[in-house]
Amino acid sequence: METASSSTAVPGRANAPATIHRSRILSSKLYFDVPSSKVPLIYSTSYDIAFAGIEKLHPFDSSKWGRICKFLIKEGVLEWVRIVEPLEASKDDLLVVHSEAYLSSLKSSLTVSIIVEVPPVAILPNCLVQQKVLFPFRKQVGGSILAAKLAIERGWAINVGGGFHHCSAEKGGGFCAYADISLCIHFAFVRLNISRVMIIDLDAHQGNGHEIDFSNDRRVYILDIYNSGIYPFDLEARRYIDQKVELLSGTKTNEYLEQLDKALKVARNNFNPELVVYNAGTDILDGDPLGRLKVSPEGVSIRDEKVFRFARERNIPLLMLTSGGYMKSSARVIADSIINLSKKKLIDLDSSLSRK
């Protein structure tokens, strides 16, 4: 295990005055009071990306977020009126982590096309790219940030989106344009009066973005279980993982869950967080073209249940982000997992208050 040295600097912004950093967070509108009639499940129809079919050129299912909610509603476990809609992250919100230079770089359609891995985006007017691609991402960032507040208040929260774990303060990539995980944690440090956060990243890919961002921050403990034989091959970022479990392509359900059990036991002994940020990518599914693991749909539900129990048994608030997943079946699998969490009473989609 490798442990980073202590620091409270904003990732990538070592020279930014702390007062400006704090002021931006305190003046943000992304934290707002949510009525008790709502459940701590966050989604907006603006999350879904659709633009003349261009979005289909990337294997990521950019309509999965809406389909997750539709499945939950169809199954009768959720009502539209009880879903929380977040606000869009503003430029000032994004500047809490990102630099002016990085945000300015997104005014280039070519740059965005490289980040989202869809070459035709490069020839589109940037105003369209902002509206059809980056605006949905900024809404999801707002959802991730709000999820931390709701998790502290209700015990759990799910942003049906977010989990852009390849984006760091100064660099996007892998369909990740904004560092929502880093942002939500920095907002939580200032607004929620907490100082210890654990990231449990179970997407099939290494979470190199947040690892770079918190490389010198001992307030954040990172557990990352990933396929070491696929993107992003970020050897520098791997140095900053507190607890890493590197899997081989083809890892099956039973072995995966055994590795998870062992890892959670170690994490429990190593760190006592006040908040868990759970990056719950479904690209671990058998058949996923990019994740290259062989975990069953039932295995995903068991995985999520184990992580939620890990937090519940220690009375630690948890927020979940849906992150990667490159098959049409991912939406159904995520919905089924959320239904299972509800049946196991690890989340409450009925009661106005999830934690008594």
Question: Helix, strand, or coil here: 176?
Answer: strand
Element (H, E) at 319: strand 318-321
Distance CA 315, CA 311 (A): 6
Residue of 166, 186, 205, 210 marked catalytic = 166
Rounded CA-CA distance 328/344 in Å is 26
In sequence order, which residues have a C-beta less than 8 Å from that of residue 345 and are 6 or more positions away? none
Between CA 279 and CA 341 the distance in angstroms is 16
For 318, the 3-state DSSP assignment is: strand
Which stretches of 7-115 are assigned E, i.e. beta strand? 41-42
Assign 132 to helix, strand or coil.
helix
pLDDT at 49: 87
> How far, CA to CA in Å, does 5 sit from each of 2, 46, 217, 219, 245?
10, 39, 6, 10, 21
Quick one: DSSP state of residue 87? P
Q: What angle do CA 340, 346, 348 make, to 5 degrees?
A: 90
pLDDT value of residue 207: 98
User: In the numeric block, which tokens belong to residue 91?
Assistant: 């430029």
Distance CA 211, CA 196 (A): 15
Degrees to nearest 5, angle at CA 153 with 143 and 338: 60
The CATH number of the domain covering residues in 37-45+59-344: 3.40.800.20
CA dist 355 and 22 (Å) reads 29
If one counts every other C-beta atom within 10 angstroms of the C-beta of residue 308, the result is 22
Full pLDDT tens readout for the chain, 356 residues: 333 334 444 554 445 468 999 999 999 999 999 999 999 999 999 999 876 566 565 566 778 999 999 999 999 999 999 999 999 999 999 999 999 999 999 999 999 999 999 999 999 999 999 999 999 999 999 999 999 999 999 999 999 999 999 999 999 999 999 999 999 999 999 999 999 999 999 999 999 999 999 999 999 999 999 999 999 999 999 999 999 999 999 999 999 999 999 999 999 999 999 999 999 999 999 999 999 999 999 999 999 999 999 999 999 999 999 999 999 999 999 999 999 999 999 999 985 444 44
Does residue 21 have an active-site annotation? no
For 215, which DSSP code?
T
